[in-house]
Each structure stands twice: as C-alpha cells, then as structure tokens.
Structure 1
Amino acid sequence: MSVPSTWFERDLPVLEAIIELLNEKRPHSLLSINEVAEHLSRSKEEVRAATHALGEEYITLREFINGGDPGPYLVTSAARRASGQWPSEELVIESLIRGVPIAIESETDPEKRSKLKQFLDSAVGVSREVLVGILTSTLTQKIGGI
C-alpha cells in the first residue's frame, strides 16, 4: 500500500497561501487556520492537515492566547524556496544554462560569443550535482564573509 502524495494538491497551495497572506495582508501577524481556509476556499480540516504536514521545515505555528488551533506565524527559507519565491541552487543553475544560448544569440563580439559557447559546452558536460555543489559552496563563502 502506498501513501498518496499531498504536496501539489494540498500542502504547496496551503504554503503559498500562507506566504501570500503573511507577506501582503498580515505581515508580522498570526494567521488562523480559518483565514487560510477561506482564502483557498478549502476546509479547515484540509488546511490543518497541511500545516501539520508542513511542520517546522516550512512554517512556524503559534498558539492563540484564547486557544484553538495553532496558526501560521512565520515561514522558513525552505518554504520560500519550495514555493518558488526564492530561487534554489537548482533553479539558478537551470536559469543560467537556459540564459546562455540567448546571450550567445544576441552577442555580436565573436570572441565573447566563442567564450559563451565554451562555457555552455563545459556547463552542459558537468553533472547537475557538481554545479549545485559549486554554486552552494560559492554562495556559502560569500554569505559567510558578509
């Protein structure tokens, strides 16, 4: 017996709604399960299940003073990456590799065009895991040096 995936149908839409509501409508506020459910036109039970599944990796839940279900209060950087609000290392690499052919087409300097082609050939020949490792290492060093 396999457990059905809930990410695309339930959890991701709830996460995106929480991010939207916290960013635009209620910054620095505690949301209720009802507010998220109403925003999505979904049941409280479905939203409650999603918030528990999202857990600490994606959201921080806080208790209301007057009781009731804990509500989403903060989202993590993992949540912003999972929702596409912030780019992941993989997304940056994909964007870079998709952008190089466009740069080659628009470049008029033959030397620069040749270097871009060499870069693209090299990047495509390297595995995604290696590129992600290089990017992660570079970003970690840059951020750590701030």
Structure 2
Amino acid sequence: MESTWGERDLPVLNALVQQLDDAGGASFPELWDITEETGLEVPEITKAAIALDSAGYIELSRTGGSTGAWFVKGVSKEARLAVGQWPTAEQLLDTLVQRLGEAAEQETDPEQRSRLREAAGTAGGAARSIFVDVLSSVIAKSMGA
C-alpha cells in the first residue's frame, strides 16, 4: 500500500487547521470547504479526514446523523505540530543554529564572529541532543504538559 501522507492527508490537515484558526471558534469547517484549497475532491478529502480522525489529529463529526455533512470540531496539538504551526524542539534548534550562522556572517568584530560560529557549531553539533532535550522540556511546559 502506498503512503497517502504527503499527497492527501497532510494537505487536508493543513487546510483544516488553517480554516479552524481563521474561523476563531465561530464555525467549524465542513470537508467540502477545503476542496479548492487542497485541489482534492470530496471523496479523497473524506478518506483523509477519516484517517486523520482515527490517528487522533482531528475531531471529525457529522451533522444530522449518518447522512449529514462531515465537519471538523477541533484539532490536536499533534496536528499543529505536523503542519508546522507549532514548532518541534528540532525545528527551533535548527532555526537558532541558522540565525547564529547568519549573525556570524554579518558580524564585523572577528572575536564576536568567532563566538557566534562556535555557538552555532555547539548547538548543531555534539551537544545537539542536549539542546533538543532542553527545548523539548521548555515547549512541553509552555503547552501545559
């Protein structure tokens, strides 16, 4: 069986997270609301939504019982992480290393440039796992975990 994540499920998840945020709790997106945004037909969006619901990414419901329209009531923190709305510790660290490198390139003081490069090397090198653990703890605490 071939993977559906990149071509179907992730675009549907991304569109649903965006629609829920845009609505600000005033309404819940129905699956047909994201056909244009995803370029997918309703049957494919429905398959993706059912898969995403069973994986715990979204809370899928139906209006009017078994014949009603599908809509999404909410998304999990894992959904927000998957679409990049909330960064992972690794993503935050990668951004930090990149920005330290950029700062080093722009720095005119040779000593400061050297310190910035050393900091980027340390954060992205041998101490990476320690930095990831620390950032993971910070993220978890900020999310109330």
Equivalence for 1:136: 136
| Pair 18,107 (structure 1): closer, same or farther in 2 beyond 3 Å | same
When residues 17 and 114 of structure 1 are mapped into structure 2, their CA distance, relative to the original with a 3 A threshold, is same
Report the TM-score when normalising by structure 2: 0.80
Closer, same or farther in 2 for the Cα pair 1:14/1:139, shift >3 Å? closer
**Counterparts of residues 12-91 of structure 1 (less than 5 Å):** 12-24=10-22, 26-28=23-25, 29-55=27-53, 57-64=56-63, 66-67=64-65, 68-91=68-91
One-letter code of the match for 2:50? H
CA distance in 1, matches of 2:38, 2:117: 46
* RMSD, matched Cα: 2.4
Matched residue count: 140
Do the aligned partners of residues 38 and 108 (structure 1) sit closer, same or farther apart at CA in structure 2, a change above 3 Å counting? closer
Range with greater deviation from structure 2 (130-139 or 93-102) = 130-139
Contact 1:30 1:62 in 2 (8 A): no
* Deviations 1:62-106, CA, capped at 9 Å, x for gaps: 332x22254111122221221122222111111111111111111
Check conservation: 2:88, 2:136, Cα contact below 8 A.
no
TM-score with structure 1 setting the length: 0.79
Deviation at residue 115 of structure 1 after TM alignment: 2.0
Say which SS state the counterpart of residue 108 (structure 1) adopts. Answer: coil
Conserved? CA contact 2:61–2:72, under 8 Å: yes
Find the counterpart in structure 2 of residue 124 from structure 1.
124
Q: Distance in 1 between matches of 2:102 and 2:70?
A: 48
5+ long unaligned stretches in structure 2? none
Opposite residue 75 of structure 1, the aligned amino acid is V
